[in-house]
Amino acid sequence: MRTEQPKTIHLKDYREPDYWIDETHLTFELFDDHALVHSRMSIRVNPGEAGDGRPDLVLDGQNLELMSVELDDKRLASGDFQFDENTLSLKPERDTFELAITTRIKPRENTALEGLYQSGSMFCTQCEAEGFRKITYYLDRPDVMSRFTTTVIADKGDYPVLLSNGNPIARGDHDGGRHWVTWEDPFPKPAYLFALVAGDLCLIQDSFTTMSGRTIDLRIYVEPDNREQCGHAMDSLKRSMRWDEEVYGREYDLDIFMIVAVNDFNMGAMENKGLNVFNSSCVLAHPETATDAAFQRVEAVVAHEYFHNWSGNRVTCRDWFQLSLKEGFTVFRDAEFSADMNSATVKRIEDVSFLRANQFAEDAGPMAHPVRPDSFIEISNFYTLTVYEKGAEVVRMLHTLLGPEGFRKGTDLYFDRHDGQAVTCDDFIKALEDANGADFTQFKRWYSQAGTPRLNAEGRWDAATGTFSLLFRQSCPPTPGQSEKLPFVIPVRMALLDGEGNEMPLRLAGEDGERGSETVLSITEAEQLFTFTDLSEEPLPSLLRGFSAPVKLIYPYHRDDRVFLAKNDPDGFNRWEAAQSLAVDVLQGLVEIHVAGRPLMMDQRLIDVYRTVLGDDSLDPAMVAEIIRLPSEAYLVELAEQADIDAIHIVRDWVRHTLAVTLEEQLWSIYRRLDERIPYSAEAVQFARRSLKNTVLGYLMLTESQDALSACVRQFVEANNMTDRQAALVALVNSPFDDQKRAALTEFAERWKDYPLVMDQWFSIQASAAQPGGLERVQELMEHPAFTLRNPNKVRSLIGAFASQNLINFHRSDGEGYRFLADQILLLDGTNPQIASRLMTPLSRWRKYDPARQNLMKRELSRIMGKPELSPDVFEVVSKSLA
C-alpha cells in the first residue's frame, strides 16, 4: 500500500495563475546519456491574482536535476529558493523579472515516454498533458501561454535533423562535430504544445497553397526505411487543409507544417504547433503493408491533428477539465471530414458501433465521468472515450440543433472571439448561442452529467382521428458521485413510414405548417408527447436516425417491424440499425434459451433480412458488409445486466455458423464476383468491395468446406495488398485447419519480420483468436523476438488485444486470464504508467460478470492495489474500481 495517497484535483478549485510567462527561450544540449536544458523566461505577476504582497512563484518540475537558477542574471544560492519532488518555489522581488534555469535530464532512461525521450535512434518529446515539467521547471498549465524560441544542439553525424515549433531562424556548427538550429514560434502557446525532435531522418516534401494564396512547405520526417510509406499521409494532409478552409473557413498560419513518425508513442499522435509528432502506425501506409482500415486511420489521425491547429492551438483549453473543448470538437471535425472523403453512412455506422460497445461501457463502469470531468487524480486517465467520442457526439447534437449554417456561424464567432486565448466549454457554447440567438442552458447538462441516458418511446395509433402519438420518457442511471440526473436535451431525428416504406408528411398537433418528411424532435422533459396528425394509415416510426443522440433508445418494435425497417427504411443508417437490433434481439433470445438448456432454433427472419441485403445490388457493398456483421460480443456484454460470456460466445458462434451454412451459395456468388485482380487503390469504392468480400470470406470459412479453405489459402498467397492477405490470415487463424494456419503464420512472420507495424498485426490476430488455449498462445508470443514490453504498440497488439477482444479466453473460468493481465500491469507500472493504466479497463468492468468471475477479478485488483509505490495513474483506476 502506498504511504501517501495521490491528491484529487477539482475543477471548482480553478484559479488563474499567479504569474504569466511572456517569453520562453530554451536551449537543449543533447548528449548520448543526458541532456542539459537551459531556459530563460520573462515573467510577470498576474495583477488580477496578486493580493497583498507578491505571491511565491511556484513552478512545476518532475524528475529533474536542478543545476542552477538565476534571477535577473544573479545566480541564486540554494537558500534563495525551495524545491521538492514536484515544485521549485521562490520569492520574486519585482513584478516583472527574468528567470533562467538549467536542468539535467536523462532521455534515455525515460521509459514513460512523457517529456523528452529517446525512441530508437531519435530524440522526441510528448508534453500533453503534463510532460513539459519533466523537461524543465515551468508553469505547466494550459492557460499560461508564451512565445517560445528553441535552440537544439547535438552531434551533427547522429542527429542531422533538429526540429522544434515554428520556423527555423538560424543555424550553425560548433567544434567537435556538433551543430545547432534555432526555431522561433511566433504564436504564444501553452507548454503542452512544445515539441522537439532530433534524429537521422529522411524528408518527404510537398507544398500546399492556401485560400489566400500563401505557399506552405509540407514536410514528413521518417526513418529512412519508411520513405516509401508516406504518400498517403501527405495526400491526407493536403485534403485536410483544403477541407478546413472550405467547411470551417480556417487557413493554416505558419510557413512550415511538419509531421514526424516515431515508433514508441503512448497514443496516436500529438498536435504540437507546426510540428506534429505521430505514432508511426498513424503515418505509414503502403498497400503491401497496411490494411484499408490502417489507410483510413492514417487519414483520420492526420486530419485530427491538423484540425487541432485551430480547435486546440489557436484556441486552447483553460484547464484540463476542458479537454473535450478541443478533443470532442476535433473528433467531430475529423469524423465529418472522413465522412466527406469516404462513405458517410458507413463511417457513421463504424463510429456508432464503437461508441456503443466501448463508451457506453465506460459510462456504466466505475470510471464514468462527465464530458467535462469535475475532478481527477491523474489527467492522463481522462483521455477517454467519454471526453473524445461522447464529446464529439455532444458537438454533433449542437450541429444537428443549429443546422450546418447556424453551426458555422457559431464556430466563426468562437474562433474570432477567442483566437489566442485559453477558454472553457462554456465559452464554446456561448459563442454558438450568441451567433444564433439560441439558449443552451439545459443542453449544457451533457457536459456536466455522466452516464448514458435511456430514452423509452411508445407509439399509439388512433385510426379514428388519423393521429399517431409518440410518448418519450427519458432517464439516466446513477454514476459515481451523481445519483440524480436532470433531463437532457435529446434531439431525435425521425420520420414516419407508410406500408410501402415511404416517408409520410409530418404535421404536428399545435403547429402550423408541415415539417417535411423528416424532422428533429427536441426532447427536453422527463416525459414528453408529440402527436402527428393528418395521417392516412398507421405509420411505423424510424427513430434516432443517424444516431442523432448518444442514448439508448427503447421502442417496442416487433421483430417483423425490424425486418421491415431493415429492408425498407430510406435512411441507410437506420436500415443497418434495424438489422443490428433484430440481430441483438435474436441473440439475446437465444442466450436465454441456451441458459435454460433448451435447443437453439434460428429465427428465419434474420436469415431473410441477410438474404435480401446480400441480394440487393443497389446497396453500397460496404453497407452490406456492415449489415451482415453480427453485433460484437463486447456490445452484447454491454447490453446485458449481468453478462454470461460463455453463453454469449456459444450462441453468437452458433448463429454465425448457421448463417454461413444457410446462405452459402449466395455468399459464394458474391465472393466470386468481388474476387478481382485489380491494382490496389486507397479509395472508398475499393474499400467497400474488399470489405464485403472479406466479410463474406469470413462466413464461408465457417462452413469448413475444402472449397472455402482453398479460396482462403489462395487469397492469402496471391493477394496484392495487405487487406486481403490479412483477412485470409484471420480466417485461417480462426479455423480448425491447423496445418494451413501454422504454415500461414510462419510464412507471414518470416516475410514481414522487419516491419514492426505488420508484426503488430500478426500479434493481434493471434491474441484475438477465440480458439481454446488463447492465454498460453499469448504467453508464448511474449517470448517472440519481435515482442517487447517497451513498445506501446506491441503491448496494445498482444496484451491489449487479448484482454479486450478475446473475451472468451480472457474470462476463462479459472481466472488465469485476469492474473496474467494483472502481472503485466504491475510490470508496466514501473516503466510506463500510462500504458499500465490503460490496460486496467477490462478488470475495472468486473461488475458485469457472474459472482465467481467477480471474485477472481477483484482478487487481481486487490493485488494491484497492494503494490507499494503504485503510480497515480494505476492507483486512480484501481481504487475507483474497488470503491
Binding site for ligand LYS (CB under 6 A): 128-129, 267, 269-271, 304-305, 308, 327, 380, 383
Give the separation between CA 566 and CA 582, rounded to whole angstroms. 9
Shortest Cβ 269–ligand LYS spacing (Å): 6
Shortest Cβ 131–ligand LYS spacing (Å): 8
Phi, psi for 734 (deg, rounded to 5) = -90, 10
Of 112 and 368, CB closest to ligand LYS: 112
**With contact defined as beta carbons under 8 Å apart, do 199 and 121 qualify?**
yes
Of 129 and 294, CB closest to ligand LYS: 129
Of 271 and 760, CB closest to ligand LYS: 271
- DSSP lists the bridge partners of residue 150 as 26, 183
**With contact defined as beta carbons under 8 Å apart, do 640 and 663 qualify?**
no
| Per-residue b or e along 673-699, where b marks 16 or more CB atoms closer than 10 Å to that residue's CB | ebbeeeebebebebbbbbbbbbbbbbb
Shortest Cβ 304–ligand LYS spacing (Å): 6
Of 20 and 265, CB closest to ligand LYS: 265
Of 278 and 360, CB closest to ligand LYS: 278
The Cα angle at residue 435 between residues 430 and 440, in degrees rounded to 5: 40
**What's the number of CA atoms in the CB half-sphere (13 Å) around residue 247?**
21
Sort 570 into a burial class: Cβ within 10 Å, 0-12 / 13-18 / 19+.
Answer: middle
**With contact defined as beta carbons under 8 Å apart, do 523 and 474 qualify?**
yes
CB neighbourhood size of 93 (10 A)? 9
For residue 356, give the DSSP letter: I
DSSP 700-719: HHHTT-HHHHHHHHHHHHH-
User: In whole angstroms, how large is the CA radius of gyration of the chain?
Assistant: 28
Largest CA distance in the chain: 95
- In three-state secondary structure terms, 457 is strand
Of 572 and 792, CB closest to ligand LYS: 792
Give the separation between CA 581 and CA 557, rounded to whole angstroms. 10
Peptide bond into 129 cis (omega under 30): yes
- In three-state secondary structure terms, 644 is coil
The Cα angle at residue 388 between residues 385 and 392, in degrees rounded to 5: 120
Of 83 and 383, CB closest to ligand LYS: 383
DSSP 763-826: HHHHHH--STTHHHHHHHHTTSTT--TT-HHHHIIIIIHHHHH-HHHHT-TTSHHHHHHHHHHH
Of 380 and 881, CB closest to ligand LYS: 380
**What's the number of CA atoms in the CB half-sphere (13 Å) around residue 68?**
12
For residue 362, indicate whether it is catalytic. Answer: no
Which is catalytic among the residues 114, 271, 305, 362? 305
Of 316 and 581, CB closest to ligand LYS: 316
CB neighbourhood size of 608 (10 A)? 14
Of 296 and 695, CB closest to ligand LYS: 296
Name the residue number minimizing CB distance to ligand LYS.
128
Give the separation between CA 50 and CA 55, rounded to whole angstroms. 6
Name every residue whose Cβ is closer than 8 Å to that of residue 399 and which is 6 or more positions away in sequence: 332, 407
Report, as residue numbers or ranges, the catalytic residues: 305
